[in-house]
Structure 1
């Protein structure tokens, strides 16, 4: 007899009275392997366009919590045995309490374990239920120019046009003392520290390209460390992740490598709103 696994869709109920829901995640339970996996989209732009009032911050906090709980369950395989006959209760008691909130897991469904490769199953379920979120993102490469324009657009909106476009057309040049090097930063602002803004996109096709780009920037920030210490400077790095999910792990390693450098602050693409708000507050 073939073994089975279970799956349930995390649904955002944006019009509960009408029964309208949107799938925003997939939970996979593999009882024999004592493994739980939660899949969710990294980009939520399509939901923002459809439902401008939805709270992205709340949904992302749910994602973070569910991922943490599924990781914990996988590390505690004995918990699966307690719910062997009632897998739905495993979800309700250990992952996400069933209540009247807008974000809830739907009906639990059973599927035949058609391969021992659980990663392959996860990828297939992501493509089946969540690839919708990635489709529009493949049309535009989120390169350095894109990152800078998105930051500029948000900043100008918050400043009600008080910041001229020319402010982003005059890069700040830094020349570390004792060297022949010079480095350009797209923008700079002050709020106790001198914050130099640099976009670094990892929206690339190859793992080696991501590694090389991270290493190059680490070298530059190493050379700039004395300058930062002398001038109370901070390097704010605006980053974009690759569209290929298989490159997420090397991307995470890359930004961690950068974040470990002194005087470096990482600003991921989804943090541009909050970062531009802090910039605007300092400039006004």
Structure 2
């Protein structure tokens, strides 16, 4: 089996009761290589604009502390051996305690190691999760949250109250047999096949970011292939194209790469109406 690494996004929870969460860092754990890498943005203008009262000094202090600790862990490879069966505990015990504070790491997710260049992987994950800090702040990104809200809105309009507002608050988790992996899908419905919905936005700034994101998802769908075959499942991937027309070609190549994977169905943003209608027909 291919080597595996794990990643978790550091989230700034400004108002947890309102669900206001912003990605501010990404942590990568490479168990076999006994390495930990933490990446965070240098520019925090987006947070200042959204939350004028946030403590930038405190957040930067956390950034420096986490980065220093991951560097230290990479120089003490014996520590990784203590957490081989439970990598999440490595974060909670050695990097950042899981509590009620505003800065917390999200779900720890597995991925297939697709290159031995760990620095390149960290760059790719920075581009996937944090490159928007470098983008034009006046443009509204059609990110994963946007895609999911647009799908949910259309679905609720068609079902006229038959779909609860909480239906999208309970993601469906898939755990492939024979692995310790867990993958979450935003929504699931049936119409002969078991359709698992996952938003994947390519509304990004860099060509490399688009390529990296497609590659990451191909690896995940490869791991999930046996599950799909055993459960007659299909992965419905909601995608958004980049605003920059100069990135349309790499976008087309990225979605073709995904579409070539078995059991993967691509739903582009302009197809959300027809797709939500099919979902509604199955759920009525």
CA distance in 2, matches of 1:210, 1:139: 18
> Any residues of structure 2 matched to 1:46-61 within 5 Å, and which?
none
2:156 maps to 156
**What is the DSSP-based 3-state SS (H/G/I as helix, E as strand, rest coil) of the residue aligned with 1:157?**
helix
CA distance in 1, matches of 2:249, 2:205: 13
CA distance in 2, matches of 1:221, 1:176: 11
* Residue 209 (structure 1) aligned with residue 209 (structure 2): yes
* Residue 168 (structure 1) aligned with residue 164 (structure 2): no
* Residue 185 (structure 1) aligned with residue 210 (structure 2): no
State the Cα deviation string for residues 57-77 of structure 1 (Å, max 9, x = none). Answer: xxxxxxxxxxxxxxxxxxxxx
* Residue 196 (structure 1) aligned with residue 175 (structure 2): no
State the Cα deviation string for residues 248-279 of structure 1 (Å, max 9, x = none). Answer: 00000000000000000000000000000000
1:220 maps to 220
CA shift for structure 1 position 174: 0.1
2:9 maps to none
State the Cα deviation string for residues 191-239 of structure 1 (Å, max 9, x = none). Answer: 0000000000000000000000000000000000000000000000000
CA distance in 1, matches of 2:180, 2:139: 40
CA distance in 2, matches of 1:165, 1:145: 15
CA distance in 2, matches of 1:230, 1:245: 40
CA distance in 2, matches of 1:238, 1:279: 13
**What is the DSSP-based 3-state SS (H/G/I as helix, E as strand, rest coil) of the residue aligned with 2:189?**
strand
Task: Output the TM-score relative to the length of structure 2.
Answer: 0.51
* Residue 235 (structure 1) aligned with residue 235 (structure 2): yes
**What is the DSSP-based 3-state SS (H/G/I as helix, E as strand, rest coil) of the residue aligned with 1:199?**
strand
1:261 maps to 261
CA shift for structure 1 position 139: 3.0
CA distance in 1, matches of 2:139, 2:218: 30
> Any residues of structure 2 matched to 1:59-208 within 5 Å, and which?
139-208=139-208
- Structure showing greater Rg: 1
CA distance in 2, matches of 1:281, 1:270: 19
CA shift for structure 1 position 187: 0.1
CA distance in 2, matches of 1:207, 1:141: 16
CA shift for structure 1 position 161: 1.6
CA distance in 2, matches of 1:280, 1:139: 31
- Structure 2: where are the runs of 5+ without partners? 1-137
CA distance in 1, matches of 2:165, 2:222: 31
State the Cα deviation string for residues 84-124 of structure 1 (Å, max 9, x = none). Answer: xxxxxxxxxxxxxxxxxxxxxxxxxxxxxxxxxxxxxxxxx
**What is the DSSP-based 3-state SS (H/G/I as helix, E as strand, rest coil) of the residue aligned with 1:139?**
coil
**What is the DSSP-based 3-state SS (H/G/I as helix, E as strand, rest coil) of the residue aligned with 2:176?**
coil
1:72 maps to none
> Any residues of structure 2 matched to 1:32-43 within 5 Å, and which?
none
CA distance in 1, matches of 2:182, 2:217: 14
CA distance in 1, matches of 2:161, 2:202: 30
CA distance in 2, matches of 1:141, 1:219: 25
CA distance in 1, matches of 2:263, 2:183: 16
- Structure 1: where are the runs of 5+ without partners? 1-137
The number of residue pairs the alignment matches comes to 147
**What is the DSSP-based 3-state SS (H/G/I as helix, E as strand, rest coil) of the residue aligned with 1:161?**
coil
CA shift for structure 1 position 165: 1.1
CA distance in 2, matches of 1:173, 1:149: 19
